[in-house]
Structure 1
Amino acid sequence: MANNKSAKKRILTNERNRLQNRFYKSSVRTLTKMFLNSLEIYKTTRTPENKEKVQNTLNSAYSLIDKATKKNVFHKNTAARKKSKLAAQFKTA
């Protein structure tokens, strides 16, 4: 257990950052899965509504990845790799 005031503050700060990191990482995974599911639906039935849904999900994923990178949850190259992977899957559909 922490013995001084600054160590106690660091424990609180680390816990806050851990929860923030967990939120961003799990949200990115969830949005990625949503994107892949809507992409599969679009591949089977190619309608403009489905394409718009896929595009909106992709934009949301991009936005969240960028926000996480801005808060140093992801390294910039990791974020670029994730976005590139999503874009490549969208392009092949």
Structure 2
Amino acid sequence: MANTPQAKKRIRRNAVRAEVNGARVSRIRTFVKKVESALESGDKSAAESALKAMQPELARGVAKGVVHKNTAARKFSRLTKRLTALG
């Protein structure tokens, strides 16, 4: 258990950051799922709009440090590839 005031404060800050970051990752996952469900249904226009909405969310996740840059690039690349294959 933390004894110093600094360590106690760090525990409080970590808890708050974990909550915020968890919400961010959850939001990104929701956007990705929207794209995947549109792709599976075969609706190209819905998939395109969902992909356009997902891209800035992924980029924001990278900027905030909750998603690795290469992970975001890989997700975007694979979903874009599936979208082009749909047409």
TM above 0.5, yes or no, is yes
1:84 CA drift (Å): 0.9
Normalising by the residue count of structure 2, what TM-score does the alignment of the two structures yield?
0.84
Equivalent residue number for residue 47 of structure 1:
none
Q: Please give the secondary structure, in 1, of the residue aligned with 2:65.
A: coil
Q: What's the % identity of the aligned pairs?
A: 35
Conservation of the 8 A alpha-carbon contact between 2:35 and 2:50: yes
For 1:38, give the aligned amino acid.
Answer: A
How many residues are treated as equivalent by the alignment? 86
1:17 CA drift (Å): 1.7
Equivalent residue number for residue 11 of structure 1:
11
1:23 CA drift (Å): 1.3
Q: Distance in 2 between matches of 1:23 and 1:89?
A: 27
Q: Which moved more, 1:23-32 or 1:63-72?
A: 23-32
Determine which of 65, 71, 76 is the counterpart of 1:72. 65
Unaligned runs of 5+ in 2: none
- Matching of residues 12-51 of structure 1 within 5 Å: 12-41=12-41, 43=42, 50-51=43-44
1:21 CA drift (Å): 1.9
Conservation of the 8 A alpha-carbon contact between 2:44 and 2:83: no
1:53 CA drift (Å): 2.4
Unaligned runs of 5+ in 1: 44-49
Deviations 1:7-39 (A, max 9, x none): 111112211221122112222222211111112
Q: Distance in 2 between matches of 1:12 and 1:25?
A: 20
For 2:37, give the aligned amino acid.
Answer: N
